[in-house]
Amino acid sequence: MNKITRTVLTFLMLGLFAGCASNQSKNATPHDPIEPANRTFYNFSEGLDRHLIKPLAEGYVSITPAPVRTAVTHFFDNLSYLNVILNSFLQGKISQGFSDTGRFIVNSTLGLGGLFDVATDAGLERHQEDLGQTFAVWGIDRGSYVYLPVRGPNTVRNLPDFATSLFLNPLFYVTGAVLFPVTALNVVNIRANLLDATNIRDEAAVDPYSFTREAYLQQREYLIHDGNPPTEGYDDIFDEDGDFGGDDDVLVIE
C-alpha cells in the first residue's frame, strides 16, 4: 500500500467518525456523544492490545536494556519534532519556536539523529505542541471525544493534526521495506513506555474506558494551557511534563 493510499484511507476513517456523530445516544456524556461507537472501537483495540501488542511490548522490555529503549524513544521523538516547531510558531510562541528549531538541529546532529537528547543538557527545553493545541489557542471548540481504533483517544479538534504530523515526519517519505519494521518498532516502544500507566489504570479504574477518556481530556487541557489549566486538579495525575505515567505518546491501545 503506497503512501497516498494510506493517507486517503486515514481520512476516510476520520470521515466515518463524523458520520457517526448523527447517531447520538440520548444518555451520552456531553463531550462523548458517540460513546457507543467509541466503546466498540475501544473494546476492539483493547482485545488487540491484550492478545498481541502488550505481549510484544512486555517481551521487548524484557530483552532490551533501558538505555536502548530510551535512545529509541528519543529517536522517534526527534523525528516528530518538526510538527512541534511548526505549531510553536503558529501559536505565536516565536521565541519557543526558535528554541525548538535549535533543539531539533542539535539532537539531529550532536545527538546522532536524535538517539541522544543532548539539547536538554544544553538548556533547550522539550515542548509538546500540535495542531489541536494550536486550534485551541485560536479559539476553535474542542468538539466531540472520539476513540480511534488502535490509535486511541482523540477529539474532533485534534483530528487534523494527523495530516501535519504525518507529512512533517521524515518517516513518511521512507520506502516501505524500511518503513514497516521501523513503524513496528515505534508502536512496540510506545506501548512499552505505557505499560506502567495502563497497569495502574487497570488496577484503579472501575470503568477503564471512562478513566482513559477523562485522563486524556485533562491531559489535553494541561498541555493547551502550558501546565496551568483553568480548572483545578488537572495536574494531579500528571507529571511535570503533563504526561500520564511518563511518556506523552498518543498511542493508547488498552
CA–CA separation, 132 and 160 (whole Å): 7
State the Rg of the chain over Cα: 18
Whether 248 is covered by a domain: the verdict is no
Domain annotation covers residue 184 = yes
Cell of 237: 495525575
- Transcribe 56-94 into DSSP letters: HHHHHHHHS-HHHHHHHHHHHHHHTHHHHHHHHHHTT-H
Is residue 246 situated within a structural domain? no
Residue at 242 is within a domain: no
- Taking each helix axis from N to C end, the angle separating 81-90 and 66-79, rounded to the nearest 10 degrees, works out to 50
* φ, ψ dihedrals at 154, nearest 5°: -165, 180
What cell numbers appear for 189 in the block?
516502544
**Model confidence over 174-230: pLDDT tens digits?**
877 888 899 999 999 999 999 998 988 888 878 999 999 999 999 999 999 998 887
Residues whose CB is less than 8 angstroms from the CB of residue 224 and which lie 6 or more positions away in sequence, other chains included: 133, 136, 137
Side chain identity, residue 46: E
Instruction: Show the cell assigned to 160.
Output: 487534523
Confidence band for 231, pLDDT divided at 50, 70 and 90: low
Identify which has the larger pLDDT, 165 or 237: 165
Kindly state whether residue 31 falls inside one of the protein's structural domains.
Answer: yes
In terms of phi and psi (left: phi > 0; alpha: psi -120 to 50; beta: otherwise), the region of 205 is: beta
CB 86 within 8 A of CB 164: yes
pLDDT tens, residue by residue, 64-109:
999 999 999 999 999 999 999 999 999 999 999 999 999 999 999 9
Look at the chain and report how many structural domains it folds into.
Answer: 1
Separation CA 241–CA 246 (nearest Å)? 8
Number of CB atoms found within 10 A of residue 92's CB: 11
Whether 29 shows a pLDDT value over 80: the answer reads: no
| 3-state SS, residue 41 | helix
Q: What share of the chain is helix, strand, coil (3-state, %, to 5)?
A: 65, 5, 35
Q: Would residue 100 count as lying in a domain? A: yes
Is the pTM of the predicted complex or chain greater than 0.85?
A: no
**Given a cut of 90, is residue 23 above it in pLDDT?**
no
Within a domain: 111: yes
How would residue 49 be classed by pLDDT, with cut points 50, 70 and 90? Answer: very high
| 254 occurs within a structural domain | no
Chain-centroid distance of CA 232 in Å reads 23
Domain enclosing residue 218, as ranges: 3-237
